[in-house]
Structure formats: C-alpha cells, structure tokens
Structure 1
C-alpha cells in the first residue's frame, strides 16, 4: 500500500507543481532547511483552500496532513486521500484518534504538515496559534520547521473562486529543535509562542496581526 500510495502521491505532486507554476507563478525559498530524513513537523500560516496543496508541492519530501473527515464521504476522495497520506479528523471533536495517527506518522519518520491556527484566517492576518502542534512535537521530539505561505489568500480567497496570475510563494525557516518533554501548560505555551514568532517573522508585514488597543 505504501509503495502504491507513493506512486499516486508523486503523480499528483507533478501535476500540482505544473499547475501552481503555470497559474500562480509558484516559488519556494529555503526548502534546503527541511531535514532530508527523519520525523519533521511543518507548521505554517493558513489563509486559503490551496494551502495543503501548496505546502505539499513546496516540500521535497512526502507530507502527511489531517483533513476533516466529511471529505472522505465522497467515493473519489475516499480512494485518493489515503494515498496522499491524509488523516481524517472530526472537526471540533478533539479527535484523539487523529492525534495518535499524526504521532504514528512522525514515529515512522515521515513529515507531518499542520496549520497551528486551526482554521483558515478570515481576517487577512495570521491568527493566534493553538497548542496542538507543540503537544505533538513534545510527545515525539520531532523538530518543527516554520513556514510562511504568501499570496495564497489573494490567489484563492476564502469563499471565492481562484484568481489566476496572483503569485504564491512559500518560505521555510530554520528548524526549531524539540526534545521530548512534559506537555504541561507552561511548556506548551512557550513552544507555541516560539513557533508563532518564527512563522510571523517569515511573513511580510501586511500579514502581521494588528496589535489590540
């Protein structure tokens, strides 16, 4: 199944790469910062329906993601998504099984992609990160590679159709080393704040959250 799934993944990646470059002038910076082997967590901002595809194309390795489980109800997606290493998760249900599946993915030495905001931003700015990414990292010891997706919100805005020729760019930052440790509130918050700062630093100022008054 893994070898068969890998061939499907590669075909889809070649097609997606071609389309992103032709339609959106897709570019990647810093992909060499992603460890070439071993477990890795890719953590990025999230502003568009396109983002999982964009990150999968940008990363030179296979990336596994979580996605809402209702997508698996459609026959074609039910066949395709597992072959793209997508993990179903029940939205808003605190799906422990999905978290365990993500941890197993990392324990198997794969790359796991996640959007720490928990949903697509509707404001045009990066939103506060949730602690789930930090919890997975602290339980596995997997390094976190911060990433910024720039322009996908303009290329395919939330609630609207695609707008061609709007450039999309992905920038990867330096990995954040993580040692397995306690997942107490203080540890989770500290790592989450470090990660949010790292992703924010990769984004242009126009994406930075406006300070509250």
Structure 2
C-alpha cells in the first residue's frame, strides 16, 4: 500500500469521527484523464479534505518553506505536494503542474491563494485560469463548507465540470484569463451557497 493511501485513510478516519464529514458529488470526478479541482480555502485541513473525498490521487502545490522542515516535507511530499515560490511566477512549479495534467493526473488548487478569514469566498487569482486554459483538463468546482470544529459537520461538494470550450478557443489575453477565473469562482460560490443553506437546516 502506498504512503498516499495510508495518509488518506488516516485523514478519512479523522474527518469521519471528529468532523462528521459529508462528501457530495464524487461521481462528477472522471475515472481517468486530467482534472483540476478548484476549491475555496478556509483551513489548513482543506488539502487533505480535498484529496480524501475521492479515490484518485490529488497533487498540490505547497509553499516552498514547508519543504525545509524535514518531517513536514516528507509527509506533504508523500501526500502529493510539490514546492512553489509564493509571490512570484515560479516557472518550475508551472511546468510541473502542466506536466501533471499532460500525464492525466488530478491537480488540486485553491484559486483565492490564501485562506479566507471570514469563511466567505473571495476573488480568485488568474493562475487557475492559466492552468485550465493551457490544458485539456476537466475543471471541477469544489465547495468546502465548515467550520472545522469537533463534532460539527464539514461538507465537501464536487460539482459538475465547467464548460470552458469557448474561452479555450478565444485569443489568449488578460481579459480571457480574468473571465475564466470569474467563471470558476462563480461556480464554486454557487455550490457553496446552495449546500451551506442545506447544512444549516
């Protein structure tokens, strides 16, 4: 059994026993081929939650500082993370991400770029659109609905793939990237609003 499966099993146990998690829409994840999971970001628990809800392995970027801490570096590497320099265009990380998608893997990303302090969904950064438009990956919006508090429900919702055909055929520009980013964030928010109201019932 791989390290990834071991860690995923560990996190699934935590999410089930401690956070009473609910997973919705995992059938929207293609069984093969490249996928980009685009989720809102509210907690450090989000990456393992995003990966634990489905059967295929999910790969992530993580800030390079974490890879300087031996134990943390080992754990996050085995859980599918690779380093990125924050605050600058890291070409190596970009190439690694596009290669993952070219190889038919799943890439998880939090387009807001940082955790929301209020829990509300903010604006997305255009990096997610660049990966979406430069690849042929299925782009799946994901809503994470907390809070992460013991014995309180946490819900993760995997939505239907977003149709980016027209934007992929359009001339590449900053406007195209912004439009694609806004579309992705709008789909995440739609899922979030719909299922947050259900969770509170």
TM-score by length of 2: 0.90
Shift of 1:146: 0.3
Q: Contact 1:102/1:112 (CA < 8 Å) preserved in 2?
A: yes
Question: Quick check: 1:102 aligned with 2:91?
Answer: no
Question: 1:102-121, aligned counterparts within 5 Å?
Answer: 102-121=97-116
Shift of 1:206: 10
The answer to which of 71-80 and 56-65 deviates more is: 71-80
Question: 1:132-211, aligned counterparts within 5 Å?
Answer: 132-151=127-146, 154-155=147-148, 163-179=149-165, 180-181=168-169, 182-204=171-193
Rounded Cα–Cα distance in structure 2 between residues aligned with 1:108 and 1:84: 18
Aligned to 1:82: 77
Q: Contact 1:39/1:107 (CA < 8 Å) preserved in 2?
A: yes
Rounded Cα–Cα distance in structure 1 between residues aligned with 2:158 and 2:119: 20
1:68-115 alpha-carbon deviations (Å, 9 max, x no partner)? 111111112222322222010112122121111111111111000000
Question: Quick check: 1:35 aligned with 2:35?
Answer: no
Shift of 1:129: 0.8
| Alpha-carbon spacing, 1:35–1:44, altered in 2? closer, same or farther (3 Å) | same
Shift of 1:185: 1.3
**How many residues are aligned here?**
194
Shift of 1:31: 0.4
Rounded Cα–Cα distance in structure 2 between residues aligned with 1:197 and 1:57: 24
Which segments of structure 1 move beyond 4 Å, counting only runs of 4 or more? 179-182
Computed over aligned residues only, the root mean square deviation of the Cα atoms, in angstroms, reads 1.9
Shift of 1:30: 0.5
Rounded Cα–Cα distance in structure 1 between residues aligned with 2:17 and 2:47: 18
Q: Contact 1:42/1:113 (CA < 8 Å) preserved in 2?
A: yes
Q: Contact 1:141/1:178 (CA < 8 Å) preserved in 2?
A: no
The alignment partner of 2:60 has SS state of: strand
1:131-183 alpha-carbon deviations (Å, 9 max, x no partner)? 111101111121200010001xx21xxxxxxx311211001111013455543
The alignment partner of 1:204 has SS state of: helix
TM-score by length of 1: 0.85
The alignment partner of 2:2 has SS state of: helix
Rounded Cα–Cα distance in structure 2 between residues aligned with 1:53 and 1:113: 10
Question: Quick check: 1:126 aligned with 2:121?
Answer: yes
| Alpha-carbon spacing, 1:34–1:205, altered in 2? closer, same or farther (3 Å) | closer
Rounded Cα–Cα distance in structure 2 between residues aligned with 1:204 and 1:190: 21
Aligned to 1:51: 46
